[in-house]
Structure 1
Amino acid sequence: MQSHQTADMAIDDSDMENSKKTSLDHKKWLKWATLGLVSLINGYATILMYARSEYAFALLTLFITALGVYVFARKETYAHRYIFPGVAGMILFIIFPLLYTIGLAFTNYSGANQLTFDRAQSVLLQQSFQSGDSYKFTMYEQDGKYSIAVQDGEQWYVTSNIDLAQLPEDDVLLTRSEAPQGKKAPLKTVIGNRAALSEITLATTEGTELKMSGLRTFAEITPLYLLQDDGETLVNQRESITLKPNWDIGHYQQVDANGEFVGEPLSPGFIVNIGMDNFTRIFTDPGIQGPFLKIFVWTVVFSALTVVLTLAVGVVLAQIVSWEALKGRGVYRVLLILPYAVPAFISILIFKGLFNQSFGEINQVLEGLFGLSPAWFTDPFLAKTMIIIVNTWLGYPYMMILAMGLLKAIPEDLYEASAMDGAGPIDNFFNITMPLLVKPMIPLLIASFAFNFNNFVLIQLLTNGAPDMIGTSVPAGHTDLLVSYTYRIAFEGAGGQDFGLAGAIATIIFLLVGGLSLLNMKFTKLESE
């Protein structure tokens, strides 16, 4: 009996081992199948990006895919699968945009220079001009297909029947005909098939090629530019001029007999590396240097004043709501913290209405009491004052919450000893409360300064940088911060968005904010020690 039980147990153990092995084999097969499918899809996406000259995005996709396969395929790195999504997100949304922006800062990438050289050249080679006479044409329908009849004086030239849904690859031959056959197509049919008709090239027996030039005409069309044997030089066949790529500005430009560039550059332009030119422009171009320095100073002043005022208001209010003799302290705390709970953009838009120069409640009150009607949005000083007021309102609850927590950590013995020495509430505030509050808050104050240094939402919603500065090379406003100034250069430039210059300023902002972050880490380390 015992031997039979032992044999049964051995069989059961063997079955369990086989089952586990089968399960492991299935999981392994599923893992490799998933990795293979992901690699295949991302590989196809990489090839498409590369074919469209999106080399940076192709390289990013290839790198993240290879990193993921490496982590999930090897036993030694399989434990890192839990942090891979975070690492991939950091590469995708932080490191790559940062490196891409810094890379743009060294190029002429702008609204006029967005293409690679090959694509810009291809666009120019696709341009054409009418080099001969134009001829009226009519479409005739026969059995669901259409023939095109071109009239030259009293003579007709007609094509064979064409299926406009499946255009022929070669030129369509025109042959002399007495009179077109079939039902004449109305104008709406021509309009509906205009895209297909534009792709058709009609060839006469004399070798002349005709292209659609209007809703009722075909004309002799010749390519405007002819590419020479060197693969770079273009010849304008209409004006008989020679053009070469100017690698300094990223445009094709006419050259004279001496090979010197003359005339206006040709659009579209192409992207070229220009080294430190964008950084040099910031500090040498009077139309950029002046606004940049003014905006930089204002950004620093705005950030510093915001930190000081929000800290002052927050600490004072924290002291008040922490006063034990104050009845209803809980209600006051809730009311004072409410601005922090309301989404910032709602508060900003409400303040924008309150400060309205014609209908805002603030001006109505000031005019009724003092006869004043400040121009909050058109006077530079008043606009900056308004921004600081609004930002103080938005930021003081955060400081108040921090101060309320830190106040409870201050020993009561210090105040009792101070009272025995004859100190009053004001002395206690400046000699005990403030030093013990500010010291642990220094890292948070630095972080608040860095946040307000890039406070784009406030400026964009409240003033959009207005009032604008006069005589600048790029859009700039008196209330712009560096970050909103960069945005306007990139997307609101009247002469074409200058992404390269915006990238250079963004790089400077990154270095400044990065320096503040390092300073914050240093203070945090000193505080912990």
Structure 2
Amino acid sequence: MSVVKTDMANQSKPKLSASHKSWLKWASLGLVSFINGYATILMYARGEYAFALLTLVLTSLGVYIFARKQTYAHRYIFPGVAGMILFIIFPLLYTVGLSFTNYSGSNQLNLERAQNVLMQRTYQSGDSYNFSLYEQNGNFSIALKDGDQWYSTDFYDLKALPTDEDVALRPVDVPAGEQAPLKTVIQNRTGISGLVLATPGGTELKMSGLRQFAEIQPLYVLQEDGETLYNTREDKTLKPNYEIGFYQQVDDNGNFVGEPIAPGFIVNIGMDNFARIMSDPGIQQPFFKIFIWTVIFSALTVVLTLAVGVILAQIVSWEALKGRGVYRVLLILPYAVPAFISILIFKGLFNQSFGEINQLLQGLFGLSPAWFTDPFLAKTMIIIVNTWLGYPYMMILAMGMLKAIPDDLYEASAMDGAGPLDNFFKITLPLLVKPMIPLLIASFAFNFNNFVLIQLLTNGAPDMIGTSVPAGHTDLLVSYTYRIAFEGAGGQDFGLAGAIATIIFLLVGGLSLLNMKFTKLESE
């Protein structure tokens, strides 16, 4: 009886036919294609060519996979592939692309938008006139006085001012209505500033202050070639200088003279950013100092965390030690606490005036080290903190590998008369380090880009003196790149930061290949 009911229930459920499923699939793909195609066109129209290309590639790939029977099985891996393209490949290619441009805080626009910004600049080319608002039946007129003669506009609703055309001024004996207070002008300043008042003589006036209209002229006028700008106030001709990405005055021979005019525009400068790293003393010297420090920091961190981790793993694996489980939990706790919390705690502990570490050293030895102002001590502090943060990981790995070492080796060593130190350096350490080499290389690569530690603990301080871009003695390459991109006093230099980021990528990529090579050798 239950079987019959089940069959009847199944028959009562509506099922989509193959044609309906096919129609639904193609309708969905068409809708997705339309939406993303429209978004691509908008991005392209706004000059966001890279993002338009990214949207086009992801959409085309998705439609290709879901539309064809031969590729439909790949729909399960499409989200992963799309994520890799969106969050890994695209940012990488975009950063590398930036390294070949002058993109910076002063060069963020394309040529057309830079032109528009310059052409919107105006200057007062004639006399200014005081004006007042006059109210009548809820509408307002603008009245101004030239000598003894009053001029007034028609009455308008301030919420619907005709900013798309000139508003005529006509001579009157006395303005009609009641004069409005200054706060009314302030409340409607945005709308009033968009008005262009036309005098009976043909002069155009624009708002130049809370109580004034003046004759305003555009400072720059675009010429017929679509690139040249003419300065109407100073009678100068400006052309785009594609070598530096700025408009600049040209002389009668077409040579660039004078100072460049901001804002600038983005141009391709080839390998100039990489050449600056190697040739500009204000960049070259701090770059190589920071590079050497980054390598030393990463190497010392790996060595010290490995040493501390292996020693502690040996201690807590000693069978004669009572309470081994408690010690293991306590020693692993630093790994369980979020790193940024530990870093901020250490920042307080190392405080030069009130930190517990300096108070202890002052009480015992009369010392008060300048942890944050002395370059050597600041680097020492960073290595100490990073060793504390990293040793639990090495200890956990070593504890697991110690159990894999056969006891027969130690028994044979004891029969030969070897002591604990001989066992450690000739049996334990070699058998631990060899399988850990890929992990040690990965740890080196991670610390090579350990941005959080530097940013939260020292922010690169103490700063280097006489550099072209912000640089500190404790900066790693990654934090140095961040400061160039976002903390430059003369404007953020994203192009130079992109060049350094490209170098970092090549270095870390080389380490990854080395890691893969060691992993392959280990498996063989």
TM over 0.5: yes
* 1:143 shift after superposition: 3.4
Match of residue 149 from structure 2: 155
Q: Does 1:61 align with 2:55?
A: yes
Q: Please list, as runs of the form range in 1=range in 2, the aligned pairs for 1:349-360 lying within 5 A after superposition.
A: 349-360=344-355
* 1:243 shift after superposition: 1.1
Q: Please list, as runs of the form range in 1=range in 2, the aligned pairs for 1:474-493 lying within 5 A after superposition.
A: 474-493=469-488
* 1:164 shift after superposition: 3.1
Q: Secondary structure at the match of 2:319?
A: coil
* 1:17 shift after superposition: 13
Match of residue 6 from structure 1: none
State which of 189, 206, 210 in structure 2 corresponds to 1:215.
Answer: 210
Is the deviation greater in 301-310 or in 201-210?
201-210
Match of residue 422 from structure 1: 417
Is the deviation greater in 408-417 or in 38-47?
38-47
Match of residue 4 from structure 2: none
CA distance in structure 1 between the partners assigned to 2:13 and 2:378 by the alignment: 77
State which of 182, 185, 206 in structure 1 corresponds to 2:180.
Answer: 185
Contact conserved, 2:313 with 2:399, CA < 8 A, in 1? yes
State which of 115, 124, 127 in structure 1 corresponds to 2:109.
Answer: 115
State which of 329, 338, 342 in structure 2 corresponds to 1:343.
Answer: 338
State which of 368, 373, 382 in structure 1 corresponds to 2:377.
Answer: 382
Residues 490 and 400 (structure 1), Cα distance of their counterparts in 2 relative to 1, 3 Å cut: same
CA distance in structure 1 between the partners assigned to 2:69 and 2:181 by the alignment: 71
Q: Secondary structure at the match of 1:33?
A: helix
Match of residue 232 from structure 1: 227
Match of residue 5 from structure 1: none
Match of residue 306 from structure 2: 311
CA distance in structure 2 between the partners assigned to 1:167 and 1:520 by the alignment: 69
Q: Please list, as runs of the form range in 1=range in 2, the aligned pairs for 1:251-262 lying within 5 A after superposition.
A: 251-262=246-257
Q: Please list, as runs of the form range in 1=range in 2, the aligned pairs for 1:49-88 lying within 5 A after superposition.
A: 49-88=43-82
Q: Unpaired segments of 5 or more residues in structure 2?
A: 1-6
Q: Does 1:33 align with 2:27?
A: yes
Is the deviation greater in 372-381 or in 162-171?
162-171
Q: Secondary structure at the match of 1:327?
A: coil
Report Cα offsets for 1:414-450 as digits up to 9, x if no partner.
Answer: 0000000000000000000010000000000000000
Letter in 2 for 1:142: Q
* 1:472 shift after superposition: 0.3
Q: Secondary structure at the match of 2:159?
A: coil
TM-score under structure 2 length normalisation: 0.96
CA distance in structure 1 between the partners assigned to 2:103 and 2:97 by the alignment: 10
* 1:18 shift after superposition: 12
CA distance in structure 2 between the partners assigned to 1:450 and 1:159 by the alignment: 72
Match of residue 42 from structure 1: 36
Q: Unpaired segments of 5 or more residues in structure 1?
A: 1-11
CA distance in structure 2 between the partners assigned to 1:142 and 1:246 by the alignment: 54
* 1:53 shift after superposition: 1.0
* 1:260 shift after superposition: 1.7
Contact conserved, 2:161 with 2:192, CA < 8 A, in 1? no
Letter in 1 for 2:30: G
* 1:141 shift after superposition: 2.3
Match of residue 125 from structure 2: 131
Match of residue 365 from structure 2: 370
Match of residue 103 from structure 1: 97
* 1:160 shift after superposition: 1.4
TM-score under structure 1 length normalisation: 0.95
Residues 153 and 353 (structure 1), Cα distance of their counterparts in 2 relative to 1, 3 Å cut: same
Match of residue 9 from structure 1: none
Residues 77 and 16 (structure 1), Cα distance of their counterparts in 2 relative to 1, 3 Å cut: farther
Report Cα offsets for 1:442-468 as digits up to 9, x if no partner.
Answer: 000000000000000000000000000
Letter in 1 for 2:343: I
State which of 158, 165, 173 in structure 2 corresponds to 1:164.
Answer: 158
Q: Secondary structure at the match of 2:209?
A: coil
Q: Secondary structure at the match of 1:114?
A: strand
Which segments of structure 1 move beyond 4 Å, counting only runs of 4 or more? 15-20
* 1:239 shift after superposition: 1.1
Is the deviation greater in 240-249 or in 451-460?
240-249
| Identity in percent | 82
Match of residue 8 from structure 1: none
Q: Does 1:438 align with 2:433?
A: yes
Q: Does 1:508 align with 2:503?
A: yes
Is the deviation greater in 82-91 or in 176-185?
176-185
CA distance in structure 1 between the partners assigned to 2:350 and 2:14 by the alignment: 74
* 1:30 shift after superposition: 3.0
Letter in 1 for 2:272: D
* 1:349 shift after superposition: 0.2
Q: Secondary structure at the match of 1:265?
A: strand
Is the deviation greater in 33-42 or in 147-156?
33-42
Q: Secondary structure at the match of 1:212?
A: strand
CA distance in structure 2 between the partners assigned to 1:432 and 1:17 by the alignment: 73
